[in-house]
Amino acid sequence: MKRVLIVLLGSFLFSYGNNCLECHKDIEPIREPDSEMMKEILEIAEKAGYPENDCIVCHGGNPEAKDKENAHKGSIKAFVKGVETEHGIKKGPQNFYPDPGSPWINEYTCGICHQEQVRTQFTSLMFTEAGKIQGSLWGFGGINGYKHDIGNYAVKAVELHKTLGTKIYKKYMEKLKKLEPQVFPEKMKELPPAPTAEEVEKDPKLAVYTYLRQECLRCHTGVKGRSKRGDYRGLGCSSCHIPYSNEGFYEGKDPTIPKDERGHMLVHTIQGTRDAKVKVNGIEYSGIPVETCTTCHDRGKRIGTSFQGLMETAYFSPFLEDGSPQPKLHTKHYIHLKPDIHLKKGMVCQDCHTSIDVHSDGILTGTTLAPVEIECQDCHGTPDKYPWELPIGYSDEFDGNVPAGGKPRGVVFSIPEYIEKGCKYPPKDGYLLTARGNPFGNVVKDGDEVIVHTAGGKDIRLKPLKKLKEEGRLKKEARVAMVQIKNHINKLECYTCHSTWAPQCYGCHIKIDYSKPIKHPDWIAVGKDHDSSGLTADARGEIKKHLIEGNIVETRSYLRWENPPLAVNGENRISPAVPGCQTTVTVIGKDGKPLLVNHIFKIPDVEGAGKEGQLAIDISPIQPHTVQKESRSCESCHTNPVAMGYGIEGGKIYENPSESYTVELTTPDGKIIPKKYITQINSIKNLHYDWSRFVSEKGVQLQTVGHHFKNSRPLNNIERAKLDRRGVCFSCHQTMPNKDLAVSLMVHIGEMADLEIDNNMHRFILHKLIIIGAWVQILAVAAVALLIIIFPLRKKLKRGKE
């Protein structure tokens, strides 16, 4: 590991105490005094000549100053931190760093010890937001096609030899990059600037850059983001590793930080692994709380709020104790559904997601499925194989070979050095490997069981599916779904069945109005405007310097959560799907006149369409993060037109949205009687069916399905035919009670015996009929075969006697 050098300027004949505490008396230690991290911090401070001042190692400043003005400045007498590079020492600026986690300066702060994560941070999706950008450009007519080479800022991938991961992992990722080059660019260019109102008049499509810069891109780690309830956070590393409450109030003991002013950290302590203990209000916790992640993961796929069981709603009930409405969180109201079972077991996001999932490995990726290296089977295995018996790439089959084959992946007994800087757990019988070949630092094999060491302090022991099957502990429904019907295991994601709900926002209606005097922040410009201390314009309170024209309003057609549809994802497995972004665009020019109204763009020559174009509204395969132990029912897929892609009730209830609808006094034949009336529901010219319908019964694709990966698509004709079991009831009931003599007799006997035909009895009768029917047909075939054999033999014997 490259060592970080501390360059001292000047000669120190004696050391100083911690002058910072003259003002910041009783502030919480960034880590516990006896922790290894704090010991290393103090060791660095001692080398600098200030053994009692741990503050300066992260915050810089002038440790000799006695007043705030001078303390919060760089000093020629203070030490200058430098990072070792191929070309020698790269000196950092002499400065004060209010938020040491800021990505714009953290190579001189966090990067002293965590060089690997700092080196790869700019390739993380949390910095580039390339998936959001490509998705939004897609909805405005596929402006950049399938390419994912535009990010928030211009950035290049890290050189291969400097990327993170094992040799197996790096080889795997090189193969993956060749399979999906559009998702793994070598570099990204910066998002084009927001247009002027005059430019939008000439080309309304340009409004997408206003939309992106104002709305979609405020969550990247290069800024602090929106100051709304639930959205408060720090910069860069501090976005996740410094706790902020939903209310944004400081609740520590530093007398200099206001306790009645929103926008401050909860407490001045790092949150991270199990070893990092945070103490506040008499409570001690470890790990990064889910709500920290949900600060950003509350729109788009909404996986953070969904994990918590939160489904947004247009309503603000139920009322609070004082009669006031439910408060907005992340600017939305919610209803509470079943949270993910992993949350209920006491797990947080980092217990499944690896360091590479979050921090990046140095490879540029264009969408969330690309950098995530984990699969459910990595811990749970399958009914036939333990996790360590599965091959590398299982359930991550971008190459189309489903299920993946190869030798068992096994386990390992060491973890990379950059992971060891966190909490290191004993390997027991070996660390489990992810689907792409990196060791889990917190998941170990213990005999034929698995232990998951959670960041929150739990050691969860789980029995893989194979052991549950061998012990006879799988329920009947589980045995049928996973053991008897192997295609469920071989061709579906585990969460296809076990995610029982998903947020489905059908119809994303966006209005961008350039006639309004209201202006909003350009979040990319805010991030680019960072000073030498690492503070961005929003952190400095100068956000008004970067306001741009265009007032944005978003709304939807309708919301659903139950029975999400099914589609094939980029890994070639059937998964749940939700509306990715069914973009319907309205643009108002600077003079107040509409340039586009309820417009759905079309993209030519993509996804089943020719020159006429496919609608640029998308259904996106998703891991909803709503996993339950009890899966969705068989009927929710096999008898449900939604699951097949045909839409709610097959799209038969939704009236044609391409025609406007007026509610007024009318004649019986529909003529509007008053002269003065307004349209109640305006038309959406390019849309002729329900938003939830994305493939026809004949297999014609009606919307795009997952525009990131090559293999994303609706279920094909064969798959839908296997899935579709509608009308099974009719198979029996078309002859009941009196259309067939034998059936009529059975019905009569049942009535005479006064049998109660409840659901259990109904299933028993069907099961019995299948068994009887199968044996009758087998015996009939056997009898015919026997006659075919015996009859010629008898004739031959008879001739012999003659």
* pLDDT tens, position by position, 680-712: 999 999 999 999 999 999 999 999 999 999 999
Per-residue confidence (pLDDT) for residue 13, from 0 to 100: 32
Lowest mean pLDDT among 527-536, 555-564, 655-664, 749-758: 749-758
- Res. 785: pLDDT tops 90: no
Lowest mean pLDDT among 43-47, 178-182, 568-572, 754-758: 754-758
pLDDT band at 99 (very low <50, low <70, confident <90, very high): very high
Q: Residue 60: beta bridge partners?
A: 96
pTM summary value: 0.92
Strands 150-151 and 187-190: parallel
Lowest mean pLDDT among 60-64, 274-278, 491-495, 570-574: 60-64
Helix, strand, coil tally for the chain in percent (to 5): 30, 15, 55
- Res. 8: pLDDT tops 70: no
Per-residue confidence (pLDDT) for residue 4, from 0 to 100: 39
pLDDT, tens digit, 9 for 90 and up, residues 467-483: 999 999 999 999 999 99
Residues 61, 73 contacting (CB under 8 angstroms): yes
Rounded distance, CA 333 to CA 315, Å?
A: 7
Cα 650-654-660 angle, rounded to 5 deg: 150
pLDDT band at 792 (very low <50, low <70, confident <90, very high): confident
Averaged pLDDT for residues 7-33: 73
Rounded distance, CA 149 to CA 122, Å?
A: 14
Q: What is the DSSP string of 680-748?
A: SB---TT--S-TT--B-TT--B-SEE-SSSTT-B---HHHHHHH--TTHHHHHHTSTTTTSHHHHHHHH
For residue 465, the SS3 value is helix
Lowest mean pLDDT among 13-22, 585-594, 620-629, 643-652: 13-22
Share of the chain above pLDDT 70, in %: 94
Residue positions counted in the chain:
802
More confident residue, 214 or 90: 214
Per-residue confidence (pLDDT) for residue 94, from 0 to 100: 65
Q: Which two tokens stand for residue 395?
A: 């359930």
pLDDT, tens digit, 9 for 90 and up, residues 250-303: 999 999 999 999 999 999 999 999 999 999 999 999 999 999 999 999 999 999
pLDDT, tens digit, 9 for 90 and up, residues 141-175: 999 999 999 999 999 999 988 999 999 999 999 99
- Res. 9: pLDDT tops 60: no
Classify residue 20 by its DSSP letter. Answer: G
pLDDT, tens digit, 9 for 90 and up, residues 511-535: 999 998 889 999 999 999 999 999 9
Lowest mean pLDDT among 189-193, 610-614, 697-701, 798-802: 798-802
CA distances from 27 to 59, 250, 484, 649, 678 (A): 14, 11, 60, 60, 62
Per-residue confidence (pLDDT) for residue 16, from 0 to 100: 62
Please choose, from the candidates 580, 588, 615, the residue with its C-alpha nearest in 3D space to the C-alpha of residue 601.
615
- Res. 748: pLDDT tops 70: yes
* CA dihedral sign of residues 771, 774, 779, 782: negative
- Res. 3: pLDDT tops 50: no
Asked, as a colleague might, if the bond just before 195 is cis with ω within 30 of 0, I would say: no
Residue holding tokens 């009669």? 323
Nearest 10 degrees: CA dihedral of 733, 737, 742, 745?
140
H runs (alpha helix) in 345-440:
355-359, 377-380, 417-420
Question: What average pLDDT does the structure give for the chain?
Answer: 92
Residue holding tokens 């100053």? 65
Per-residue confidence (pLDDT) for residue 220, from 0 to 100: 96
pLDDT, tens digit, 9 for 90 and up, residues 561-589: 999 999 999 999 999 999 999 999 999 99
More confident residue, 76 or 334: 334
Rounded distance, CA 692 to CA 557, Å?
A: 11
Lowest mean pLDDT among 63-77, 341-355, 484-498, 523-537: 63-77
Rounded distance, CA 701 to CA 781, Å?
A: 43
Q: 362: phi > 0 → left, psi -120 to 50 → alpha, else beta; which? A: left
Lowest mean pLDDT among 186-190, 384-388, 779-783: 779-783
Asked, as a colleague might, if the bond just before 403 is cis with ω within 30 of 0, I would say: yes
